[in-house]
Chain A
């Protein structure tokens, strides 16, 4: 559906502003959005999706339900022109440079960019008004003399030790998407709801500012933290040594890489501050996420915790079957459930299973999509082969959720980073104990958040990051003690039934959409 099509449709109740997720990319946030859309059929949604590059991802992975009245596709950049157009592009660039060398008036958007990086507080109302003015064209940004002056000033202040050439191109890369997105008209809606900070969050904040409509911000993972992780891996861990890779075939020294990473991190933090400042409510899934939001500048009085939920009723029968199976003599079936990507650290899962297999009889299954990072999948397969565990550790690919938990006795998550993993809730609802690393909300999901929650007992075992020996010890302990496994499974099931109900979660969003604020006392910070 084109923007023109969506504009012709009726005004929506809610405009969901998403970045790189629903309906094009499967994953936790996309599944959640899909559930939200289906759970609130009376609410009319329009979905604004911010993608990386026009035409890069075109296939929808979800069917839009009838209550989605429009889908607006926005992109951070256009595809690179064909090589044959190079000469024409150069001519156009020269012409644009002549036109925009010294425009008569200073741009409010450029001034906002300067303040975002150089001045505190980042994201105040005046700054958002400057961004909302949309008085900077893409050509002015790319070729304007004032833009170049600004890059000089910011480079001098933030990255004096860096190569200016690298800084110039990185500054362009980080701000061009913003210039492009700020030109998009806001889809008419009563409430804007962003599912992350970043470019989508900043855009939603500007739309909310322009229209005077409330903004709700929900963060499943914390965007700034996730981007910082990517920066760490791409700029200095990947490069290493004297030179680091900062672009396709482009190399720079460590000081430059470090300065660029710092500037990018500041840029993402500034975007987050814009969304935090404009949002009337800021939702996270767990206490850990909320603390990070506050640490990044979210006003504590606006923050709420609304955990994800599952439907425990549909898994009751399954849980009882698992209880009966608790003391049989078959090999313990341990499963990893999730995307096979580096951030999930499947390598540690494989090594833990290898170590545990020397102690107990196991069947290990890796269940989840294998197509997102083929290189990492190859690495994992090679490791299994090298360890000689091809029969005991199997890659099963994606499977329907209902069939997954019938096939495993213990769920093992070895992720480097998580928000509030849905698979842990599903396993809990099915009465399956969980071994998980101490990241995101995993500890509070297994051990409880408040006194009442903690009194239910642990629903699994928490381990350190990247510690295969510790994960293996936990697997062995559960394999040798079926009664402990049953106790933990029961505790998890009761915890999910009491604190992680899907209908509770979406009912709260429905109430927000209708009232423009969370039900309950103002300023309360925990759901």
Chain B
């Protein structure tokens, strides 16, 4: 696949927050949790409004973690869930979750703020949200979507996929034509190998048309 200048649009990415800043929401949640506990302790026997105040503070603690935008969605929600489910120790777990570094599988498009619509970051986001039908991907997709669509068709190698690949190989877009031709060659080779294993030499398909 040929790189295109359009696939290299600058991307604007959120800067990585320092570790102390990353655990700030957890610290705030701990303070709110402490306040909730204080409200309950001070009002024994528990009055309705003291319980309501403690519940509101507990909820606010969870929201403080869930609303921390610089963190990944998954981490925010996991931290907030911990605060909500485990009063007292939840903020500590949230701090550990938010402070963790390193790449993970399953990042979402919300982690990035693409300037263009065809940049690498935009592709990452799109891939999580949508998968174009193969024909649409070939016609309108970017390099990655085209590549993925061709890979799927090459993998299936059914009649419909072969027809689309032949059409693409005959098209005016030289990059797409080349990729489609390579996919057809791949299918041919697979067929030839399979035919050789079955000792049926004349069953070789002329997939290229």
Binding site for B on A (CB under 8 A): 119-120, 152-153, 155-164, 167, 224-225, 228-229, 231-233, 236-238, 240-241, 254-255, 258-259, 261-262, 265-266, 268-269, 292, 295-297, 342, 345, 347-348, 351, 379, 382-383, 385-387, 416-417, 438-439, 464-469
Contact = CB atoms under 8 A, between A and B. Distances in A.
A386 B204 contact: yes
A351 B191 CA distance: 15
B178 A439 contact: yes
19 contacts: A153-B16, A160-B112, A163-B105, A224-B2, A228-B2, A232-B179, A233-B186, A241-B155, A261-B1, A347-B188, A383-B204, A386-B192, A387-B204, A416-B185, A439-B174, A464-B170, A465-B177, A465-B180, A467-B209
Contacts of B201: 385-386
Q: Is the interface of B mostly helix, strand, loop or mixed?
A: helix
Contacts of A265: 1, 3
A351 B124 contact: no
Contacts of A236: 147-148, 151
Contacts of A268: 3
How many residues of B sit at the interface, in one of the four size bands? 35 or more
B2 A225 contact: yes
Given A386-B201, A417-B178, A155 B103 contact: yes
Interface string B185-203: 1101100100110000110
B181 A295 contact: no
Interface of B: 1-5, 8, 10-11, 13, 16, 101-107, 111-112, 120-121, 123-124, 127-128, 144, 147-148, 150-151, 154-155, 169-170, 174, 177-186, 188-189, 192, 195-196, 201-202, 204, 206, 208-209
A163 B208 CA distance: 35
Given A347-B188, A351-B206, A164 B102 contact: yes
A292 B103 contact: no
Contact of B16 (A120, A156, A240, A266): A156
B208 A351 contact: yes
**Which of A160, A162, A232, A259 has its CB near the most chain B CB atoms (within 10 A)?**
A160
**Which of A167, A342, A351, A465 has its CB near the most chain B CB atoms (within 10 A)?**
A465
Contact of B148 (A156, A254, A296): A254
Contacts of B101: 152
A156 B16 CA distance: 10
B181 A466 contact: yes
**Which of A153, A162, A386 has its CB near the most chain B CB atoms (within 10 A)?**
A386
A379 B189 contact: yes
A85 B4 CA distance: 45
Contacts of A119: 10
Given A240-B155, A416-B178, A464-B177, A231 B105 contact: no
Given A228-B3, A236-B151, A237-B182, A379 B192 contact: yes
**Which of A261, A262, A266 has its CB near the most chain B CB atoms (within 10 A)?**
A262
Nearest to A242: B155
Contacts of A269: 3, 8
Given A161-B107, A258-B148, A465-B169, A237 B183 contact: yes
